[in-house]
A and B are shown apart, each in its own frame.
Chain A
Amino acid sequence: MSFRVGQRVRVADRLHEGHHRTPIYLKGKTGFVELAHAAFTNPETRAYGAEGLPEQQLYLVGFAQNEVWIDYSGDRGDRVYADVFEHWLEEA
């Protein structure tokens, strides 16, 4: 599966033993695809000496700040973006 720019996506809300690059504050949160970067080797296996293959597509995903933090005090239009690998994203 691949996602297109503008598509609504949710970050998988799952635990992961060991190294991974999906920040916990975004797990389970819904956002939108801002950019589709290239595919990169998977840090979850590369961190343990493997080649990190197959490569995983990486996306820049944007989230409304007031949906990420219950008590967010900034502006309604504020957003936080993070790079999330495809295998951590679900259709929303």
Chain B
Amino acid sequence: MSDHDHEHDHPHDPIGDGDEPASATRVQALEELLVEKGVIRREDVREGIDWLVSRSPADGARLVARAWIDPKFKERLLADARAAALELGLDPGPSPVVVAFENTHTVHHMVVCTLCSCYPRALLGPPPDWYKSLPYRSRAVSDPRGVLTEFGVELGKDVELRVLDSTADIRYLVIPRRPAGTEEMSEEELAALVTRDAMIGVAVPAARAAA
């Protein structure tokens, strides 16, 4: 592969092997400066990234599955999601406060961050790319039923749709409805039905996990 293997008519230096966006270059420059000035250590950045990517929706799914089988736990989860996560031995992460909302047969919640990409990363891992995209961020508030239809979710007319725009310090987690036909399932089997998208509120768990 050559250093400059595309053709166009303005000269520039090689952009690098990954065609990195300008924002990545800016972040690297900031990191260099912060390290140089002793504000942070390089290990802090690496540890932060390691922690973030080590989180996964499986943690959130454990919270939901426990809430499905234990109504008292669900009350505690709705009252204080951080304490509920600690109760299950999960790491609720640093500062942002998590608030859980429950979907019922009359109310459906879905989560967006119109300003950027706020997301309960400690309990769900990194957000999916579409969550950070401009179309989702704008249409989730202006045409949420249209967005849900595209995700394959059709709400009945008698269901109130509540969109949660996480504009500040709070992170929102949706407790989806427990599907019918799961009465005999174990907590672990139930947790396997709870997808990331269901905890964002753009999917509905099905009794059998998709193959």
Residues of chain A whose beta carbon lies under 8 Å from any beta carbon of chain B: 21-23, 25, 35, 37-38, 40, 43, 58, 60, 62, 65, 68-69, 72-75, 77-85
- Tell me whether A81 and B164 are in contact in the complex, defined as CB-CB below 8 angstroms, given that A73-B143, A74-B145 are known contacts: yes
- Chain B residues touching A, majority SS: mixed
The size class of the interface chain B forms with chain A is: 20 to 34
B168–A43 CB distance below 8 A? yes
Beta-carbon nearest neighbor of A77 in chain B: B160
- Tell me whether A23 and B115 are in contact in the complex, defined as CB-CB below 8 angstroms, given that A37-B169, A74-B145 are known contacts: yes
Give the residues in chain A near B145, CB-CB below 8 Å.
73-75, 78
Cα A21 to Cα B169 in complex, Å, equals 10
Beta-carbon nearest neighbor of B156 in chain A: A75
Give the residues in chain A near B168, CB-CB below 8 Å.
21, 40, 43, 58, 83-85
Cα A73 to Cα B99 in complex, Å, equals 28
Residues of chain B whose beta carbon lies under 8 Å from any beta carbon of chain A: 97, 99, 114-115, 141-146, 155, 157, 159-170
B163–A80 CB distance below 8 A? yes
- Tell me whether A83 and B166 are in contact in the complex, defined as CB-CB below 8 angstroms, given that A23-B114, A25-B114, A73-B143 are known contacts: yes
Contact of A81 among B142, B163, B169 (CB under 8 A): B163
Give the residues in chain A near B165, CB-CB below 8 Å.
23, 80-83
Beta-carbon nearest neighbor of A69 in chain B: B142
Say how far B159's CB is from chain A's closest CB, in angstroms: 8
A79–B97 CB distance below 8 A? no
A37–B97 CB distance below 8 A? yes
Cα A65 to Cα B157 in complex, Å, equals 15
> 14 more A-B contacts (CB under 8 A) besides A78-B161, A81-B163, A83-B169?
A22-B167, A23-B115, A35-B99, A37-B99, A37-B170, A58-B170, A60-B170, A65-B163, A73-B143, A75-B145, A78-B145, A81-B162, A81-B164, A83-B166
Ordered by A's residue number, 28 sampled pairs between the chains whose C-beta atoms are within 8 Å are A21-B167, A23-B165, A23-B167, A25-B141, A25-B142, A35-B99, A37-B169, A38-B97, A40-B168, A60-B99, A65-B144, A65-B161, A69-B142, A72-B142, A74-B143, A74-B145, A75-B157, A75-B159, A75-B160, A77-B160, A77-B161, A78-B144, A78-B160, A79-B162, A81-B163, A82-B114, A82-B164, A82-B167
Say how far A15's CB is from chain B's closest CB, in angstroms: 16
B170–A83 CB distance below 8 A? yes
Q: 8 closest pairs, A vs B, by CB?
A: A83-B168, A77-B160, A82-B165, A74-B145, A40-B169, A78-B161, A80-B163, A82-B167
Give the residues in chain B near A65, CB-CB below 8 Å.
144, 161, 163
Give the residues in chain A near B162, CB-CB below 8 Å.
62, 78-81
Give the residues in chain B near A84, CB-CB below 8 Å.
167-168
Cα A60 to Cα B170 in complex, Å, equals 9
Give the residues in chain B near A81, CB-CB below 8 Å.
162-165
